[in-house]
Amino acid sequence: MNETFTKAMARNIFYGGSLFFILVFLGLTYHTEKVLPERDHRENITEQVVHGKKVWEENNCIGCHTLLGEGAYFAPELGNVYKRFGNSKAAIMAFIKYRPVDGIKGRRSMPQFNLSDEELEAVAEFLKWTSEIDTSNWPPNIQG
C-alpha cells in the first residue's frame, strides 16, 4: 500500500465523520424528545410544585444538595428523599422546619431557613414530584 494520505482523503474523512456524528446526534435528540414525556410525568406539575422549585432556587439548595445527580455533594441527594422519609411530606416539612438555629456543633448541618408553612409545603411537594420521575435508576448508589 504505497498510497499517500492526501488532503482530499483527509477532507473526505472529516466530512464523512462529521455527517455520521451529526446523524447520531439528531437520532439521539429525536429519541430523547419522544421518550421524555413518558418518563418525567410533566402532567403532574402543579402551581405548588412550581412554587416549591422557586423556593428551592431562592434558597440555593443545590449549593449543598444534589438533585438527580446534579448539584453539590456536600449534603445528601434529594432526588429520593420523599421515599427515604417514608412517602411523607409531613416528615420532610418537619425536618426542614425544626433545624437547630445554630446548627449542630462540630458537624456540618443544614441551616434554619425560617420558611413559612406554605413554602415548606411547596418544597415538600416539589421533592415528592422529583422522586416520582423515572430516572432509570440514575444516579446510581443512592441509599434508599
In this predicted model, what pLDDT tens digit does every residue of 49-63 receive, in sequence order? 999 999 999 999 999
In this predicted model, what pLDDT tens digit does every residue of 76-119 receive, in sequence order? 999 989 999 999 999 999 999 999 988 888 888 899 999 999 99
Interatomic CA distance for residues 49 and 51, integer angstroms:
5
Interatomic CA distance for residues 132 and 115, integer angstroms:
24
| Amino acid 112: pLDDT | 92
pTM, whole model, 2 decimals?
0.78
**Is the Cα dihedral 21, 26, 30, 32 positive or negative?**
positive
| Cβ 52 vs Cβ 114: under 8 Å | no
